[in-house]
């Protein structure tokens, strides 16, 4: 089992590529450089709506203790760097933490 930390942010179509680049070149490398024990990966999802672009990040950790090591005691609070806030129109103030259940192959 693992913990999935899920967060949403929205931006304008004009700023979407800038925000995506910021994540790939600044935010995610910054997370990786912390070398948090139990941190496994971060995934980025993008959905282009007509008037805005939605981003979802899914971070994978070994345990909730690893999330706390990453974010601190108030681990539900989201952290949005100032550089990202300049590009986003709105974002989740908290992150959701799901327990990932084992994978199964359902094909016959």
Residues of the chain with pLDDT under 70: none
What does the pLDDT read at residue 19?
A: 98
What pLDDT is recorded for position 46?
98
- Tokens 């979802």, residue? 56
Q: Tell me, what's the pLDDT at 1?
A: 83
3-state helix, strand, coil in the chain (%, to 5): 30, 35, 30
CB 6 within 8 A of CB 56: yes
For residue 18, the tally of other CB atoms under 10 A from its CB is 14
* Predicted pLDDT of residue 26: 95
Instruction: Enumerate domains of the chain plus CATH numbers.
Output: 2-100 (3.30.70.100)
Strands 53-61 and 2-11: antiparallel
């Amino acid at each position: 089992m693992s913990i999935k930390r899920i967060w949403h942010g929205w931006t304008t179509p004009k700023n979407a590529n800038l925000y995506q680049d910021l994540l790939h070149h600044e935010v995610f490398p910054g997370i990786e450089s912390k070398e948090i024990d139990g941190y496994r990966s971060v995934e980025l999802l993008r959905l282009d709506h007509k008037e805005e672009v939605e981003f979802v990040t899914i971070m994978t950790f070994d345990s909730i203790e690893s999330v706390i090591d990453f974010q601190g005691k108030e681990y539900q609070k989201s952290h949005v760097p100032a550089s990202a806030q300049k590009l986003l129109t709105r974002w989740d103030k908290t992150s959701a933490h799901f327990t990932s259940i084992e994978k199964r192959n359902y094909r016959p």
